[in-house]
Structure 1
């Protein structure tokens, strides 16, 4: 008994004089939906799967921190000229690629010039228009902008690609290059191996911790990413303990998780879902009274409550709540179906034949809308929706509420790739339910400026307002934060008044991970892949050291 008491006292003294800290070792496996195609920073933004792998394997000059702040990564420091047009980056010393080749300013210049080169067809090209990249020396790069651009540092979080791997490959052939699926980067983890199914589809990627100059040791030895065809398949794998986390889970599927050893991280993201009206494809939608009636007959709060299980917030304008420029009246078009009915009555839409759908004579046109004739046009519209359970439920709920006021909604669900290629790019839709993601320092230019109405622009509402254009142009060049916020508020008011879209909600990003994985610090992420911020600090093992 005395010996036991002595041991207990000794342990307590040891505990008091030591502390637990992370220790190296262990591995983590995560399941995500989809398959990799282009694991390369130039192309990754087109796919969340490619973004995830790129985030782990590559590094940019700068990176996002846990709350969305911009901090150095490959860069040691950045000097910004007073006029906001010149940014000079100094690389850290002794940087190397995962294959041991030295990383220099040449790699940075190559990456940016490749993005700018139309032959590469990078979706990031717009971000780098009007920017000149210049090598000062092996560790110094200078960017000169034609005009000040307030969120420019966010652009520099793009991963840097190795010139010695990609420089000798013709842009027309990069998609077929081995390096696209077996990448060489300079990030916290390096490619180790991949596995394929019997039919040749990629099944998993295994990455191992990469030694990095001037960095503390990365704790987890390995991260394996396993790919699944659907969210339900990924959830089943998690329940079977084949993986320890999921890249994301929709709110309606949280209850399917069986393990009690999971921590579901709730992350904020400047993302929102909207129904974009294409007035050029529908004379019905060209009537503002109809658009307002549609807006007033959708219960966005009900969608958040019943479809998302309360895991989200309503959005009332082109900039989500919490970001500069979102401070406008959230009650401009409250859920008032009785007012929607009055608007449609006043606009001449009546259900004269009692079939539940209103009609109106609009006259001859090739753009009257779904099912229209020159004599009588039914108040019928078609909504294109990505093949996603949550978005399907949202669309069906909206269809039911619109039916109650005499609007017929035809829902067309397409795989995301087909929707983007065949519908969104050529702008062949009356309405489309789609998501937009802004930066922490929002720049809605590509989503709402009239110059972005055609592909590859992202102005899905084909919005065209000269006053709004002017505010967008001025805001992105305004370095003073308060002045920029004021311009975005004025811009938001214009958009809300014009009703080019029906703003719905911003979902909470849910990230379920085994509670044995410690050190996850992400709170505000710009895209799902940013859940891996500071992934080198994730750990399983611990050890004691003296205080």
Structure 2
């Protein structure tokens, strides 16, 4: 150690050494103090730990119990001040059956096309979730004294998805397209209807004579004049509008996706319509997947490609699908009947038809169906009229046998015969488990109970080679036809049971060839009066005659089994469906998200 100039500084060195010794002495002193305190307060008292361990453990357990009780109390009473509530946003995906060749609602024929039309296009009127008509685009209606003019006022500030105003001109333009035979729309019957603009926001329909169900015809989708007015009617189906439409419903078009040509699967991607006149839907997006087969829809559920479908029967699904999804069944305003061809040589006699009716246990038949069914008791649904409707003959096999015996049809060699002729029936059913089960059940009953010979023929309505329309329906090529009739939202069933040539010829819908003058008068009277009381009297008379002549055998009301994820909010519990697409009646309230929120006082 040196100072400046190189001379050593011994005094400084001695001072530093003394300081280090002092530091060591202090450290030793602190160390001794720590050891002394540790011995005094810890090690010297370890032998006492066993004496207080019970108290320590007891306090620890009590503390844990208090914490658990607090947590349990919060969980138990959480429901008192919070609830799970649907939240806006998210994407809903649904699988439907059928081709998706066009998004133009005027040509919608398949389930997929009709579903897309209901989601994207508004109408003057629609069915609500109670099965009743309500104004959609229409705000009010006025009907003249003779009930032949209907003047409708549109709601204010209606808009298309491209921002253009939706007006009376669009309504008139759409009706004229429906009337034009060159268009080839899926909805007909408009040729005799006149329509005119009576004010900026009112349109008047003029019909040739009083027609009580007319309001139900105003559920056609309206299309935009400003987009289609320069398109030739004959080329409308092929126009780009069918692939990228301008819409007015709760959802607007975003994208049409095609998987591949082989599978034929397509998906319509839609987004919420902010300008929708009933308010923007809670969902951000809706995706509608169109599948070519029921197996493909099941696959879509299994892989979680879709959240829901109205097309399948829940009981037939694999267990893994049942565990993932829940189901609710909804009756529709349709009826499945065994239609008796009254021109058939054997079935011309009402007694033979009554015997066929009385031999069948309808309750047992319905239990054999692959899906839930509703009760069907006649040609008119009870909710459509105030009338007390006649019910079908009750099951009485012995009475049925006596009717056949009285007509000369006796049992010989195990087969019922009349002379050399056997009691032989041809039962035709469309392909599909629900119809086939009914046909086979009836055939089994008539063979076993009545000793009739019954041949069941299953036809595929989707097979162009079979051409069911021309080979079966138009020529009435059957004795008994298992068929589903669309009964709609009104008691008018004129098209199915009136004996006019228009209804009984090849283009008509009176497949049973039903012919009864009193029934004809009642059907005409029922559609010619708007008074519900007067209509009820007419339909009560018709139903009585229909049942007395055993015109056909009512089997059941079909249901839509809506299969969906438990977490989504979709079709409400008590919804009544006039048609399957009416499941979308309150689609603006559907959600896919839920969150816990505090209840308001």
Instruction: Specify whether residues 10 and 482 from structure 1 end up closer, same or farther in structure 2 by C-alpha distance, changes over 3 A only.
Output: same
Instruction: Specify whether residues 300 and 182 from structure 1 end up closer, same or farther in structure 2 by C-alpha distance, changes over 3 A only.
Output: farther
Distance of 1:421 and 1:246 partners within structure 2: 32
Contact 2:358–2:395 (Cα < 8 Å) also in 1: yes
Equivalenced residue count is 526
1:531 to 583, 588, 591: 583
Contact 2:355–2:401 (Cα < 8 Å) also in 1: yes
> More deviation in 16-25 or 288-297?
16-25
1:127-166 deviation per Cα after TM superposition (whole angstroms, max 9, x unaligned): x454321112342211123333333222212211222344
Distance of 2:91 and 2:518 partners within structure 1: 54
Instruction: Specify whether residues 360 and 16 from structure 1 end up closer, same or farther in structure 2 by C-alpha distance, changes over 3 A only.
Output: closer
User: C-alpha displacement at 1:432, in angstroms?
Assistant: 1.6
TM-score normalised per structure 1: 0.87
1:117 matched residue in structure 2: 180
Pairing 1:93-108 to 2, within 5 Å after superposition: 93-108=156-171
Matched, 1:513 2:574: no
Distance of 1:442 and 1:129 partners within structure 2: 23
Pairing 1:312-391 to 2, within 5 Å after superposition: 312-324=373-385, 327-330=388-391, 332-352=392-412, 354=413, 356-361=414-419, 376-391=420-435
TM-score normalised per structure 2: 0.79
Contact 1:324–1:485 (Cα < 8 Å) also in 2: yes
> More deviation in 403-412 or 416-425?
416-425
> More deviation in 511-520 or 175-184?
175-184
Matched, 1:479 2:530: yes
SS at match of 1:275: strand
Distance of 2:429 and 2:529 partners within structure 1: 36
User: C-alpha displacement at 1:27, in angstroms?
Assistant: 0.9
Contact 2:168–2:197 (Cα < 8 Å) also in 1: yes
Instruction: Specify whether residues 121 and 257 from structure 1 end up closer, same or farther in structure 2 by C-alpha distance, changes over 3 A only.
Output: farther
Contact 2:374–2:556 (Cα < 8 Å) also in 1: yes
Matched, 1:416 2:429: no
User: C-alpha displacement at 1:279, in angstroms?
Assistant: 2.8
Matched, 1:434 2:483: yes
SS at match of 2:329: strand
User: C-alpha displacement at 1:209, in angstroms?
Assistant: 1.5
Distance of 2:314 and 2:339 partners within structure 1: 23
User: C-alpha displacement at 1:389, in angstroms?
Assistant: 0.9
Contact 2:430–2:460 (Cα < 8 Å) also in 1: yes
1:367-387 deviation per Cα after TM superposition (whole angstroms, max 9, x unaligned): xxxxxxxxx333222222111
User: C-alpha displacement at 1:273, in angstroms?
Assistant: 0.3
User: C-alpha displacement at 1:115, in angstroms?
Assistant: 1.8
1:150 to 182, 187, 212: 212
SS at match of 1:525: coil
Distance of 2:386 and 2:497 partners within structure 1: 14
Distance of 1:504 and 1:67 partners within structure 2: 24
Matched, 1:400 2:444: yes
1:488-518 deviation per Cα after TM superposition (whole angstroms, max 9, x unaligned): 1111111111222221111333211222222
SS at match of 2:436: helix
Structure of greater Rg: 2
The answer to which structure has the higher helix fraction is 2
1:69-105 deviation per Cα after TM superposition (whole angstroms, max 9, x unaligned): 2222122332333543322222223322223333221
Higher RCO by CA contacts (8 Å cutoff, separation 6 or greater): 1
Matched, 1:459 2:510: yes
> More deviation in 5-14 or 168-177?
5-14
Q: Unmatched 5+ residue regions in structure 1?
A: 362-375
Distance of 2:234 and 2:415 partners within structure 1: 51
Distance of 1:82 and 1:21 partners within structure 2: 49
1:186 matched residue in structure 2: 248
User: C-alpha displacement at 1:55, in angstroms?
Assistant: 0.8
Distance of 2:193 and 2:320 partners within structure 1: 47
Instruction: Specify whether residues 307 and 15 from structure 1 end up closer, same or farther in structure 2 by C-alpha distance, changes over 3 A only.
Output: closer
Contact 1:134–1:143 (Cα < 8 Å) also in 2: yes
1:212-248 deviation per Cα after TM superposition (whole angstroms, max 9, x unaligned): 2543221112222222333343224313322111123
Contact 1:325–1:488 (Cα < 8 Å) also in 2: no
Contact 1:239–1:259 (Cα < 8 Å) also in 2: no
Matched, 1:212 2:275: yes
Tell me the C-alpha RMSD between the 2 structures: 3.1
Q: Unmatched 5+ residue regions in structure 2?
A: 1-62
User: C-alpha displacement at 1:439, in angstroms?
Assistant: 2.4
Pairing 1:17-56 to 2, within 5 Å after superposition: 22-44=86-108, 46-56=109-119
Dislocated runs of 4+, deviation >4 Å: 1-22, 254-257, 542-547
